[in-house]
Chains A and B, each alone.
Chain A
Amino acid sequence: DSGVTQTPKHLITATGQRVTLRCSPRSGDLSVYWYQQSLDQGLQFLIQYYNGEERAKGNILERFSAQQFPDLHSELNLSSLELGDSALYFCASSPRTSGGPEETQYFGPGTRLLVL
């Protein structure tokens, strides 16, 4: 158990809908990262937050947005869902952000999203 929690574990929805994925980082971790893992794209970095502020953006679609709240939990919002958005969405957290290359990211169990 990494100490990172994600809810829900599974989510089934229809095209065009909007969903919210939730993540609680490990106690004391200030940085939260979101990743998408699909069969054809592998593990893709979406976005990073540090202490409530957006720190880095990766391959995140405009239909997707995220935020980190004062209690450090984070939410990833996915809207106008398409079939291709079906994937495993991970949240990860790291202890601090020196941003240095030594920072280990600890992953949550993931949310498996199925868009029908």
Chain B
Amino acid sequence: AQKITQTQPGMFVQEKEAVTLDCTYDTSDPSYGLFWYKQPSSGEMIFLIYQGSYDQQNATEGRYSLNFQKARKSANLVISASQLGDSAMYFCAMSPAYGQNFVFGPGTRLSVLP
């Protein structure tokens, strides 16, 4: 069965510094997608970034990048130049093969300190 692990329940980072949020996954499917979502205290789930299992390059979206290491089954989110507004819960999710649905990790709460 597919599973997502996020081993950091909470993280602190100083404003303007970079931070890495860990995500490891378990699947036997050869094709899958990996996603990161942000959930601020207001509750909405905001899509940040996507990485396909066959993508050769790591995905980037503005200040977000995904450090994809397929052999290690890890898909860490890197946020550069942290801002106070980055304080939120961050969820890693996996979309397995055709016809199956997202599996979410337990989340990491990021706090950005001024």
Contact = CB atoms under 8 A, between A and B. Distances in A.
Contacts, number: 65
B95 interface: yes
Interface size grouping (class) on chain B: 20 to 34
Given A42-B106, A42-B107, 17 more contacts: A2-B46, A45-B102, A45-B103, A56-B99, A56-B100, A58-B101, A99-B100, A100-B31, A101-B29, A101-B32, A101-B33, A101-B53, A101-B96, A105-B47, A110-B44, A110-B45, A112-B43
* List of 5 A-B pairs having minimum Cβ-Cβ separation, nearest first: A101-B33, A107-B45, A43-B104, A101-B95, A109-B44
Contact of B43 (A55, A100, A110): A110
Contacts of A101: 29, 31-33, 52-53, 95-98
Contact of B101 (A33, A108, A109): A33
Contacts of A2: 44, 46-47
